[in-house]
Amino acid sequence: MSASSFSPTYSSILLLIATAVCLTGCSGENAVPVSAVAGKVTFNDQPVSEGTVSFMSDQGFGASAPLEADGTYQLRSQHGAGLPHGAYKVIVQPKEEEFLESERAPRKTQSSDIPAKYQEFATSGLEIVIDEKPQTFDIQLTK
């Protein structure tokens, strides 16, 4: 069959089949495997009750979670409850100050208990490898 003998209906059917095959390949059985990640952030043995914990891999996978009043967090990513398997760098950032609508950008809270070194991926020193099992990653901040 030559390309000129394809009818518009035949081409439409081929496109529909190709789309169905692609969508089937993106179903749950071929989804990225993830593992649950949770933990607690403390500073001077006290929970850090405000802020955000963020995880980022070299492959571009990442997620952030807010800190609860007791310092705990649970990660969710675009892949579900947890993170895809692999190595991650971790940071802890303070809650941003509220700002007036007339201000151009929020400022970081100056009274945060979170030392500056933990607020950047390059300096935090916090790393974890996520594998098949659920992970608990408690973070003890030091000065």
Q: What percentage of the chain carries pLDDT values higher than 70?
A: 69
Band of the pLDDT at 60, cuts 50, 70, 90? confident
pLDDT at 12: 45
- Residue bearing the bigger pLDDT, 98 or 112: 112
DSSP 3-71: GGG--HHHHHHHHHHHHHHHHHHTSGGGSPPEE-EEEEEEETTEE--SSEEEEE-TTS-EEEEEPPTTS
Does the reported pTM lie above 0.85?
Answer: no
Any idea of the CA torsion for 28, 58, 117, 141, to the nearest 10 degrees?
40
Give CA–CA dist 115/21, Å, rounded: 50
Band of the pLDDT at 5, cuts 50, 70, 90? low
